Amino acid sequence: MFNYLLDYAALLKWHAYLGTDMQRQEKYEINDNTNFSLPSDKFVKIVRWDTNCFLEKFILGITKTPSDQFHTPLRQGGHKAYTVFASGVYKRGNKPSPYPTELLTKKDEFSQHQAMTLITDQVDTNVFGHDKIRGSKLIGFIFDPNDALINRMFSRDIGSFGRPYEFHSEKLAQEYYESNVLSDKPLLHSSYEAFKRAVIKQPNQCNEVLARVKWNDKSSAIGIFSDSFEARCVVQYYAERLKHRLKIQYTELLSTLEDDYEVPVYFYLPSNNLYWQPYSKQDQHKDKEYANSILDNEKLLRQQFESSNFEFLLIVSNPENVDKWQFEGESMLFWLIMHGQIHIADALLKRAGMPKSIEDIVADEFLNKNITQITLPSQKDSKTNILHIAAETGRLELFKLYAKLCPSAINELSDDGFAPIHYTAKYGHQALLSYLLTLNELNINLQDKNGWTTLHHAIDSDQMDIAKILLLDNRINANQRIKYCISPFHMAVASGSIDFIKLLLENPKVDSQAKVLIFFSPMKLAVEYKRDDVINLLTLDKLNKYLDALINREEEYKPRFGGLFWNGYSKSVKMQSANALKLHLLNETDNLDCNMRALKQGKLGDIVDALPSDYKNKLKL
Lowest mean pLDDT among 70-74, 255-259, 428-432, 539-543: 70-74
Q: Give the whole-angstrom CA distance, residue 25 versus residue 23.
A: 5
Render 560-580 in DSSP notation, one character per residue: TT----GGGS-HHHHHHHHHH
pTM, rounded to two decimals: 0.77
Q: Is 150 contained in some domain? A: yes
CA torsion through residues 447, 449, 451, 454, sign: negative
Whether 612 maps to a domain, the answer reads yes
- pLDDT, tens only, 452-466: 999 999 999 889 999
- Is there a domain that residue 492 lies in? no
Handedness of CA 271, 273, 274, 275 (dihedral sign): positive
- Tell me the percentage of the chain whose pLDDT exceeds 90: 47
Domain count, the chain: 2
**pLDDT (tens digit per residue) in 200-235:** 998 878 999 999 999 999 999 999 999 999 999 999
Closest by alpha carbon to 311, among 349, 274, 341, 267? 341
Cα–Cα dist 165/525, whole Å: 21
- Domain contains 420: no
Q: What is the mean pLDDT of the chain?
A: 81
Residue at a domain's end among 228, 245, 274: 228
Pairwise CA distance, residues 614 & 3, whole Å:
66
Kindly report, residue by residue over 125-144, the tens digit of the pLDDT.
888 777 666 778 999 999 99
Q: 224, 219, 266, 216: which is closest to 246 by C-alpha? A: 216
Last residue of a domain, one of 228, 252, 282: 228
Asked if the structure places residue 334 within a domain, the reply is no
Domain boundary among 228, 260, 285: 228
pLDDT of residue 610: 54
Residue 199 has pLDDT above 90, yes or no: yes
Which domain, by its residues, includes 181? 8-228
Distances (CA, A) of 404 to 51, 361, 418: 21, 15, 20
Residue 243 within a domain: no
CA 141, 143, 147, 150 dihedral sign is positive
Is 245 within the bounds of a domain?
Answer: no
Helix (H) or strand (E) holding 60: helix 55-62
Assigned domain for 244 exists: no
Per the CB < 8 A criterion, the answer to whether 66 and 6 are in contact is yes
For residue 601, the model assigns a pLDDT of 45
